[in-house]
Structure 1
């Protein structure tokens, strides 16, 4: 079935039909089967080869949709974890910033065109935040058994501060890209106006 719909078969059939037309016109004579078969073969040989379909990679916006769903799962997990007030405040600020970056709209549309930005957010949601919180929970348990070591909430607060800084850098990059786009459009309009004058 694949060959019947292939370019080679279709080109061969077209040439074979031309051979039948030559036969009915009286130009092929007694050798008409050889002419028709030869023209079919020639058509099949000169037809371009089948092109394999290009890989269908997921659209960047679909990656963001999956990341939004995972962000909801992370939010549910964090809602069940008890954190000290300072760390909880840092985490709330970070989650609010990530929520703003992932919210549907022009920000996420701009983010979808930035694979590195999507990677940064994906790493924060899938790895960095869960690992920071989970490590804190496990380390806090050990601290209760062996007091006198550095409090694990200090590490958690530093980690959340660094993650917040990274997310702020991503937001600043998106903001700068939009500002450059606006400036470019202004220059374009000014150049167009000068061209009319």
Structure 2
């Protein structure tokens, strides 16, 4: 094969290799160092949305089924980060929440009630008397995940902090539900007044 033919064949291959190394194809967002670590605003936002929207939807479930719904939310969020090494610590933190919920739900399962199905998910109920205990265990799991994320390497802190904030919001909602009804209404009133002032 002549040298001219070899150059003609190799040129497209070099161009293709260069394109594959660009931030768009490497999983980055083109914004500085994030691309080199596989972090992206799109991936982070997707996980944050899964946590926020999923938790809001789970709050509409009956209390006995709510915690297995939360487990599914954290499972889905962790799966979104699978095969992306840049989010390995975040994935592990989310999986830790899922495992903790799976264990406490299994320990407190209400076998007298049927499971509930939503699309491809099936929610296992817990005993009514065990709900406060399951709730506390959930809060502890969220706190542990939040700590893992906030201790992330410097180059990951921007993205991991956003995920930690979503987890913290979930935790705050759970904690408010532990308050007696009158205190919840008081807290809502105070928050509403603060927002009006702002």
Identify whether the pair has TM-score above 0.5, normalized to the shorter chain: no
Larger Rg: 1 or 2?
1
TM-score (norm 2): 0.30
